[in-house]
Structure 1
Amino acid sequence: MFDEYDEEVCLEESGHVFEMKRRLSVDQVKALEKNFEVENKLEPERKVKLAQELGLQPRQVAVWFQNRRARWKTKQLERNYGLLKTNYDTLKAKYEALLKR
């Protein structure tokens, strides 16, 4: 519900203050992705420079990179599983063919 808003907004409801989730612009995401392709870890100086260039807080950049690395790792695991499964299926088929001889 909160992620539909593009700006940081605070609501007060029954004494609680809620901060709306701030979404990144398309250009900000493209720049972050481009930087991630170059190096998926951030040095502190690079994080601050990138944050300034994109008009973000350094913490936002750090969290984005952390989340992106987690997604990248999951995709790597999926690819590795796919390769292992293909190799296993091929080996199993060859083994079964040998048994039928």
Structure 2
Amino acid sequence: MSSDPGASARSNLERARRSVQQIHEAAVRHRDPVLHDLADEISEIAMMLGHDAGPVQEWRPCPVCGAQPGAHCINMPGHEMVDDMHPERTRL
């Protein structure tokens, strides 16, 4: 029986991603921008440590169209969208 030495690290990283997503979901539910900021800070620290923070961009407000966390971006003239989001929203 062989074991994967990276399995534990991947499992822990996935747990961290789910936790950050749950913080964003709580922020949407409670309309608390501080929780969004804290989740973003955790994601930035993870990226500085070389870990993928996961797809959390939909939980950020959009600086282009003003879409609130958890809501889709709104198509605006003169602004391109990638995968139905403004690229500015996807940058940490």
User: TM-score under structure 1 normalisation?
Assistant: 0.28
**Whose helix proportion is higher, 1 or 2?**
1
User: TM-score under structure 2 normalisation?
Assistant: 0.30
Highest Rg: 1 or 2? 1
Larger relative contact order, structure 1 or 2 (CA cutoff 8 Å, min sep 6): 2
**Whose strand proportion is higher, 1 or 2?**
1
